[in-house]
Amino acid sequence: MNQALDTFLWETHWHLACHRSELLAHGDFLRLTILDREVVVFNDHGEIIAFDNRCPHRGARIYLENHGNQAATCAYHGWTFNRGQFFIPGQEHFKGCDLNRVDFRRWQTEWVADFLFVGVAPNQAIEDQLGDVQPILEDISFGVMGRHDWNAYDFQCDWKIAIENALEPYHVDLVHPHSLGVLDLQAGQNDFHGKNSIWYAPLGNAKMANKLARISEFFSLDFQYKGYASIYIYPFTMLSSTFGYSYSLQHFLPSSLPNKTHFYSRLLTMALKPGRSPELMNSLFASTAETNRRVFEEDHQICQRVPADTWSPEPPRYASDTEAKLLHFRASCREALQQMINTSSTATSELP
């Protein structure tokens, strides 16, 4: 059931892939692995497209790196995608083949201001999926200057275990005593927007809060929560920040194995006010990236203790009020499972 749910979620939802600043130049690309697919988002002379990282000739991977700038040329026989079409060496040898039809397997793209979303066959419009989270994402996207840090490795656990861990602060004191725990996050408030949720938590560490508040004058932010904000975009994505000077974008993508999650994190840093040198904040961004990496590794260590078969879409028997977002996640998964069952029974009833 779980693998079927993972595939259903991947195929029926929009997924935040990147910020516009990550694909500014022709040839810029970024690759994410999900299930048995590699999704590439690519700048083709200013047009941003999303495609399966497999050559339409005989399936060789186009990109072996997770990000960079490189022509979309297949290393096997040289097929090259450029300005929306393929250039094929030795065309005269493909007698009887309609080479005009050659293309990548493409996926849909949508912009939410400067955030790029991709979808296979989303079952709702992006504004319906995001609800009231959309204007917040738009405001955040306008302020992003670029990517400061990139981190990718596999968590040895199911993605739902990793997401649920990211959705509850109950573990912070024990798992992150010297990293995230230093902020002394308070109970705060959960906002629910469809299947998405946001946790706003004030900092209990007043010294740290005052220090961070003083930096505010360097930035002009369309959206700022003066505390810790963690935005969950159902199903696979988190965007979190302390005071909004940078955002940690995290993906917990399902793999085709039950105890493995493709984890990606990036630090998106916000633009400073005109006249302020970006170098001013380099040490802040570097230390944020370092702390985040530590937090993720601590999360990974604890998550790999939790076997995949402990997960169920039903609420856990014992749940604290600090686990409200986890309960909401499970309710969303139950709803998705029901949709999945309805879709497959409709498809079956349509068989001749």
Q: Which is closer to Fe ion, CB of 28 or CB of 299?
A: 299
Q: Give the burial string for 330-343 (b: 16+ CB within 10 Å, else e).
A: bebbeebbeebeee
Mapped onto helix, strand or coil, the DSSP state of residue 1 is coil
Q: How many CA atoms lie within 13 A of 283 on its CB side?
A: 2
Q: Using an 8 Å Cβ cutoff, are 108 and 120 in contact?
A: yes
Task: State which of positions 73-92 bind Fe ion (CB under 5 A).
Answer: none
57 in contact with ligand FES (CB under 6 A) = yes
Instruction: Calculate the dihedral angle through the C-alpha atoms of 248, 249, 255, 260, rounding to the nearest 10 degrees.
Output: 10
Read off φ and ψ for residue 270, nearest 5 degrees.
-95, 150
Q: Is the dihedral of CA 181, 182, 188, 192 positive or negative?
A: negative
Read off φ and ψ for residue 320, nearest 5 degrees.
-90, 170
Please report where in the chains the tokens 């690309």 appear, as a residue: 29
Strand 15-19 versus strand 28-34 pairing type: unpaired
Query: What one-letter code names the amino acid at 110?
Result: E
Q: Which is closer to ligand FES, CB of 56 or CB of 181?
A: 56
CB of 59 to ligand FES, least distance (A): 6
CB of 74 to ligand FES, least distance (A): 3
105 contact choice in ligand FES, Fe ion, none (CB below 5 to 8 Å, kind-dependent):
none
Task: State which of positions 78-107 bind ligand FES (CB under 6 A).
Answer: 78-79
60 in contact with ligand FES (CB under 6 A) = yes
CB of 153 to Fe ion, least distance (A): 16
Q: Which is closer to ligand FES, CB of 76 or CB of 153?
A: 76
CB of 58 to ligand FES, least distance (A): 4
299 in contact with Fe ion (CB under 5 A) = yes
CA–CA distances in Å: residue 314 to residues 157, 331, 332: 19, 8, 10
Rounded to whole angstroms, how far apart are CA atoms 108 and 101? 18
Rounded to whole angstroms, how far apart are CA atoms 328 and 333? 9
Q: Which is closer to ligand FES, CB of 77 or CB of 211?
A: 77
Q: Which two tokens stand for residue 275?
A: 């006249």
Count residues contacting ligand FES (CB under 6 A)? Answer: 9
76 in contact with ligand FES (CB under 6 A) = yes
CB of 78 to ligand FES, least distance (A): 6
Report the residue from 55, 238, 249, 336 that binds ligand FES according to the rule CB under 6 A: 55
58 contact choice in ligand FES, Fe ion, none (CB below 5 to 8 Å, kind-dependent):
ligand FES
CB of 86 to ligand FES, least distance (A): 9
Q: Which is closer to ligand FES, CB of 86 or CB of 228?
A: 86
Q: Which is closer to Fe ion, CB of 141 or CB of 165?
A: 165
168 in contact with Fe ion (CB under 5 A) = no
Q: Which two tokens stand for residue 151?
A: 């981190």
Q: Using an 8 Å Cβ cutoff, are 316 and 163 in contact?
A: no
45 contact choice in Fe ion, ligand FES, none (CB below 5 to 8 Å, kind-dependent):
none
Q: Using an 8 Å Cβ cutoff, are 148 and 267 in contact?
A: yes
Radius of gyration over every alpha carbon of the chain, rounded to an integer in angstroms: 21
CB of 260 to Fe ion, least distance (A): 19
Q: Which is closer to ligand FES, CB of 54 or CB of 147?
A: 54
From 5-13, 57-65, 142-150, 210-218, give the range in contact with ligand FES by CB under 6 A. Answer: 57-65
74 contact choice in Fe ion, ligand FES, none (CB below 5 to 8 Å, kind-dependent):
ligand FES
Residue numbers at the binding site for ligand FES (CB under 6 A): 55, 57-58, 60, 74, 76-79
